[in-house]
Structure formats: C-alpha cells, structure tokens
Structure 1
C-alpha cells in the first residue's frame, strides 16, 4: 500500500516534472544528452552487467576502486549510472579506456522506467552507493529477483530523522534490499532502527579510505601556480567563495602565494569569476592559461603579484591541485550542505581545513580531527585559522603526516565489500 501511494504521487507529478525537465534542458545544453535514459532507455553495451549507481562525483570517486575490482577480480562487466552531469563526465574520465565499463543516467524513480531499464540491460545485480535508496527501483529489482545491495552505506542523523518521518514507506523498502553494507556501527544501528533486519546489515568500513592516488604525471599546476604558498579550496559552494576571498585578502603581508578556487559545480564558474574580479586582486581562469591570445601584461601581473587567485574552471583537476597545495579547504562545510570528502587531501599528506557543517562525513571528519589531521573552522575564525596554517610550516607538516597515516591505517573496506558482493551473487545463483 505504501509503495502504491508513493507511485501514484510520482505519476501525478510526472507531467509537471516533464515540463520542468524540458525547460531545464532548454536552458542548460549540457543536460540534453541522455534525455531518454532518464525514462529507462539505457544503452545495451554490456551483457548482463553489474549496475552500479553513484549519484555524483563524490560517490563515484569513492566507488571507482570497487568498480575496477569487480571488473578485474570478479570478471564482470559494469554499467555505471549517475544522476548529475558532472558525475557522468567524471565517469568518462575514469573509465574511458576500459571497454568493460559503460555509463548512463539513472532513470527517474517510476515503475515503468525501472522496468524498461531492467528489461533492456538485464543486470546480474544492482549496487546502490551510500544513500541512493529509490523505492520503485528497489521494488522492481525485488520483483525480478535482481540482488540489490547498498554499498558503502552511510546515514547521517539528519537523514535518519527525515527517513523516520516516512517509516511507512522506508521500512518496507529496506526489507526488499538483499544486503546493506555500511561504513560504521552508528549507521548500522540507524538502518536497524528504521526497520531493517540486523542480519542483513554488515559493517565493512568506508571505501573512501581505499582511494587510489594517481601517479604524478605532468605537473599541470606549474605554470599557473607560481612559487609561494598555495591554498587550495576544493568543491566550494554558494557563499563560501566570498568568505574565502575575504580571508585571502586580509592575510598578513608576509603570506605570499596563490589562492586556488575549485567550485563544485561548473554552472557556477562565471558567478565565481565575478567574485574574483570584485576582489581587486590579479586572477586567472585556468581555461585561459593556455590561450594564445592571453595578454602578456595580465600574465606578468598575475605571476609577480604577492597575492593572486586562480579559478579552476575545468573538471577533473582537483587532485592535481591538492597535490600542489600547502593547505586544503574542503568546501560544502562553511555552507550548510554537509561538506565533501576530505580524505583525498589527507591521503596526499595535506593539512585539511573545513567548516562546521560536515554531517555528510561525520565519522571521517571526527577521525581526522581526533588525530589532528583536520581543523574545523567557522566564518568568524577562518582568517585566524588559515593565517596560522600558512605561517606555521611545522604545524602543516604535523597535520599532513597525521592525516596520511590515518588513511593508510583505515584501508581494507574494498576487499571486504568485494567478498560480500561475490558471496551475495553466488547465493543468488544458487537459489
């Protein structure tokens, strides 16, 4: 009954949703690709793949090693679905050379869309990453006896509270999942309190600790980040750049170097460019640094100014700039959006600074803060904290070493996830 009510509401909202979808893609050309995929017409490039759904860039980066392991160790093809365009672009960057991995957009959560998707691709299993719980998708998989596993599961206190308000829908949905593989014991308890059977929930650790740091290739940062200190602010969100630019402009005179801003969403590049222009400091767009018509006067002013700004308006370069950084600020944490993954910077041995809103990565941030690899700041304390980090090399080294050691110590969730998935698939074949 609960699923029926949910499905009816989805179909009632469908005409309005389609209108908004058409208006959206009319205004944003990058969303026009994959239009029919959003309604179930996914490409049939692999034979009975494992379908892995990672909503956006953060989830995809975390799950990428597991996808590669499924292909290499289990010898199975994989279809990766995302929700966001940035996630799709990141997927293409990671797996462009792997013909055993294909990608598409996940359909909207309608019974007919999910039925069409499953009928076309006939997946061996469906893996949902972190909190990607869709009632109709899970129900359709259950009816067609497709094993459905939540991997690298996490559930913040805020999300658990929201789910509890809809227990009439959430509890039956959870019971249709084959297994739930979660990051920590607190998350496991939250799923059980929402109605899941304790026997189906396994605590395997976070896949984010098993991230693979790419080998150092050509240093793309060398020409755009001159000598001096480098403060990289990654995955920044609305309102954060204002505070970061203000702090950069108010630092003591002895601090000389480059502020690197990497907005989370490409549609905000122009907005952040306006903020850089208003700062009064010399700045560049990364995309313009290789332009032949770049005025040399601007380039010289930028390179020789003691305090400069670089706006990275290209996707997939964050790790390159993290590697160059002296200090990393991880965005989404001054803005109340839950924060983004600090482990990429920590794994590179960088001291990490975040705002107080880290509820998407509570356990990770708590662990990093406990070993003093991360410092939590606020808008009021940002200037003081970044001043101390940029002027104290010993502190930066201590924090970076502690964070890297924690990441190395916590690895192992990848092997545990792979074994659990393999066992689930074997049990499904035996039934």
Structure 2
C-alpha cells in the first residue's frame, strides 16, 4: 500500500510518535537515551502529555534497564503496603512507586526538549510515510508509531474496571503511613469494589473508589458520595485538590488477530493499549509500556514497515503469554456473583508476596499459576467451567457512560 508523497513544505523527522500518553512518552524518552541524535517528534492532541492519570507499580515489575528509564521522573515511593478484606487484613513488604501525569509531562519536557514535543496538535490521518494534522500540515517520517488508545472492539470480550479518584489535603495529619492497595472491607454495591489509598504527604491523600463490574456505567454522583462517606469514616476532612475518573476494559478473551486487523495501518507500528500491551485482568500498563519502549529503542533503525511487523509479532506473543490472566478474568466475571467477587482476591492475597508481585507484572511462573488454582475454589466449579467455555460480553461500550 502506498503512502502519500512528500512535498517541499513537509515537516520531516525520522520517527513520528502519535499520542503523548504513557506509551508514547516512554518510547520518545527511550529513543532519546539510546539514540540522542535521532530526530523524534512526539505529537499529542491535548496541551499536556500524559492526560490526567496516575500510574503505580512495584519495584519488581521492572528490571534494571526499566528502572533506569524511569529515573528522570519524580515519583512517590513507599516501603510496604496494606490490604483489607472482610475476613482479614495483611501487611506486605514490597516497594511501591507512583507517578502522576503532571510529573510525567514535566520530566519529558525537560529530557526531550521543546523541539521534540508537539502538544495541541490533532492528527487527522497517518500512514507508512508520515502524519497529517488537522490543519493540513504534513509531517513526513521514516517510521510512524501509533500510541493512541484503541476504540471499542467487538473482537474482545470481558468486563469493566470503573473508578473515581480524589486528592484531598486534610486539615490535620491523616496518619496513613503506607499505601492501602485494596480495601475491600467496604460495601460491594453489586460489583467487586475496593478503595485504593496513597499517602502523598502528611496532609495529602489520594483515594480512589474502584469497581470490577459488568457494565461501563460510571455514576459520578454515587461514587462521589461513597468517597465522601469513606473519608468521613476515617475522619479525613479538608480541601479537595483534584481528581480523576476512568473506565478501563478487563479483557477475558476474544479474537486478537481480528483486533490487530481492526487497528492496523499498513507499515505503522502500534504500541500501548492500541497494540494490546496491557495486563488483561488488572489493566496495568506501565511495566509493558516500559518493555515496549526499550524494545523499540533497540530496533529503532529498522525501516518503518519492518518495525511494524516486529511489533505485531511482539503483541501476539504478549497475548499468548497473558492467557492465564484472561481465564481468571473470565471466571471472575462469569462464575462469581458480583457482590461476592471479592472472595477471589481475598483468597489470592493470602498467597506468597513474591507470587503476588509476579502476578501484577504479568510474569507468573507455572508454579504460581498452579498455586493460584489449587485448593478450594472461591467460585462454584460448574460455573467456572461454564465461564471458561462461554464467549463473554463484547467490549463495545463507549469510553464513558454517565449513570
């Protein structure tokens, strides 16, 4: 398939990255570190990079090269975290980190320089030879990488992770010393619900209300009220500084080849969620975004078409590698009653902490998988079998539906 030709007015670069979220920003950074003289353009439709997000991860999610890639970013860090369930609470020793989109944007602007970053630029089309902006300007490139999020897909099945987060500056020290990764001791409200708490400072808290639910409905009034009550229950009062909401797919199955075809543009590499590089059950993206960025930097001198083919192969391997997590997700949504889904995680968090870390990193060993599955199952066996053999619900809802 031929791309459009060049004109004398084209802007030219070696690599054009479309989408300045986590995946695109990390690719640009990895390229700058590995190939400091390579011309790279990072193109983002919004005025800031990274949107309005927070990304968190365990130290063990990344190897030494991944940790080095993230070194320029200002991060919150803690040694250890807590989980709470109706039957028990537990303290775990893992080192945990968190990065905000504001710090992501600031570090990338410092590391890449303004010549490489082009925010507020909406892309109308892209192809193997470059990118066309909404204002008609053309950016010609040897390699084009599409890091924009995918649209709803009838080729994937699953459920939804719906959340609302809030940052509060309390009027007195809140007393929370370590993150609470899951507080599932709360009312479930017809889904697997847990509250996530990060102490960002002596008086600053990030609190997020999260639901694994069958539909993508985000009821802002209901979630805001529940956050209010959670703060009151813990005697946290103060000024709300900001917040975020989101609806993420929890992938339980589907036809990945058809998904790739749906998102394919000839000769254009796909990365991030558009390429399928996510944890299908937790919706984590950071460890996979880091791995992908380093892999692209390693092969950045390949022609664009060859890099695109390499990335598709890499994505298919990732899909095969994460099948175990999709099967667990299928059982979570298909076999457990919505209000009792917490029992699956309640049982999981009794296991060895290194197994838990490998699970979140998408690096579960065969022995880990066996350990997760053996013993008394938290869901009925007959329903689990039915969930694994069923087709599941297509992930075709709009990005956000307000209830």
Q: Provide TM-score, normalisation by structure 2.
A: 0.36
Indicate the structure with greater strand content: 2
Q: Which of structures 1 and 2 has the larger relative contact order (alpha carbons within 8 angstroms, sep 6+)?
A: 2
Q: Provide TM-score, normalisation by structure 1.
A: 0.34
Indicate the structure with greater helix content: 1
